[in-house]
Structure 1
Amino acid sequence: MRVLRHLTTRHRTLATNRTLGLMLAFNAGAMNAGGFMAVHMYTSHMTGFLATLADSLVIGEFALVLGAMGALWAFMSGAGTTAILVNWARQQRLEGTWALPLLLEAVLMLLFGLLGAALQQWPTPFAVPLAVLLLAFMMGLQNAVVTKMSSAQIRTTHMTGVVTDLGMELGKMLYWNRRGTPRAAAVRANRERTRLFASLLGLFLAGGVVGAAGFQHVGFVWVVPQAALLLALSLPPVLADLQRLARRRAARPGDGSDTDLSDDTPCRPR
Structure 2
Amino acid sequence: MFKHKELNRTFSQNLQLACFLTFAAGLVNIIGLLEFGRLVTHVTGHYTYFAEAIGRKELSPIIEQFGFIFFFLTGASTASLLIYITGRKYPRYSHTTSIFLEVLLLFMVIFLHNQLGNITSSYILLFAMGLQNAMVTRVSGAVVRTTHLTGITTDIGMELVSFFWKKGEERKKIGRQLTLQISIAACFICGGAIAVFDYGSFGVEGLFIPVVILLGTMAFDAVRRDPHSEPTIHT
TM-score clears 0.5: yes
Query: Once the 2 structures are TM-superposed, how far is the Cα of residue 174 of structure 1 from its aligned partner?
Result: 4.4
| Alpha-carbon distance between aligned partners in 1 of 2:163 and 2:212, rounded to the nearest angstrom | 40
Q: Which structure would you say has the larger Rg? A: 1
- Verify the 8 A CA contact 1:71 1:133 in the aligned structure 2: yes
Q: Greater helix percent: which structure? A: 2
Question: Structure 2 counterpart of 1:56, which letter?
Answer: A
**Change in 2 beyond 3 A, CA 1:168/1:10:** closer
Equivalences for residues 1-270 of structure 1 within 5 A: 7-9=1-3, 13-14=9-10, 15-120=12-117, 129-175=119-165, 190-234=174-218
The offset of 1:10, in angstroms, is: 5.1
Distance 1:187 1:91, change over 3 A: closer
- Please state how far the C-alpha of 1:195 moved relative to its aligned partner: 0.8
**For the Cα contact (< 8 Å) 2:160–2:178, is it kept in 1?**
yes
Q: 1:187 offset after TM fit, Å?
A: 8.2
Distance in 2 separating the partners of 1:229 and 1:187: 33
Matching residue's letter, 2:9 = T
TM norm structure 1:
0.74
Q: Deviations over 1:70-127 (max 9, x none)?
A: 0111001100110011011211133211110000101111222222233225xxxxxx
* Shift in Å, 1:197: 0.6
**Mean CA deviation greater in 131-140 or 164-173:** 164-173
Q: Is the contact between residue 22 and residue 184 of structure 2 (CA under 8 Å) also seen in structure 1? A: yes
What is the SS of the residue equivalent to 2:92? coil
List runs of 5+ in structure 2 lacking aligned partners. Answer: 224-235
Q: Deviations over 1:171-220 (max 9, x none)?
A: 22444x8xxxxx79x98871111111111000000001112221232111
Q: Say if 2:106 and 2:211, in contact at 8 Å, map to a contact too.
A: yes
| Higher deviation after alignment, 215-224 or 95-104 | 215-224
AA partner of residue 160 (structure 2)? L
Q: CA deviation at 1:50?
A: 1.1
- Tell which has more relative contact order, 1 or 2 (C-alpha 8 A, sep 6+): 2
**Matching residue's letter, 2:155:** D
Amino acid at match of 1:49: H
TM-score, normalised to structure 2, is 0.84
- CA deviation string 1:10-42 (max 9, x = no partner): 565222233112210001111111110011111
Aligned Cα root-mean-square deviation (Å): 2.5
Aligned length in residues = 219
In structure 2, C-alpha distance between the alignment counterparts of 1:85 and 1:188, rounded to whole Å: 36
Determine if contact 1:172/1:188 at 8 Å carries over to the other structure.
Answer: no
Q: Is the 8 A contact 1:77 1:137 kept in 2?
A: yes
The residue that corresponds to 2:232 in the other structure is: none
Over 3 Å counting, the alpha-carbon distance change for 1:172 and 1:56 in structure 2 is same
Aligned-pair distance for 1:58?
Answer: 0.9
Residue aligned with 1:71, SS: helix
* CA apart distance, 1:132: 1.2
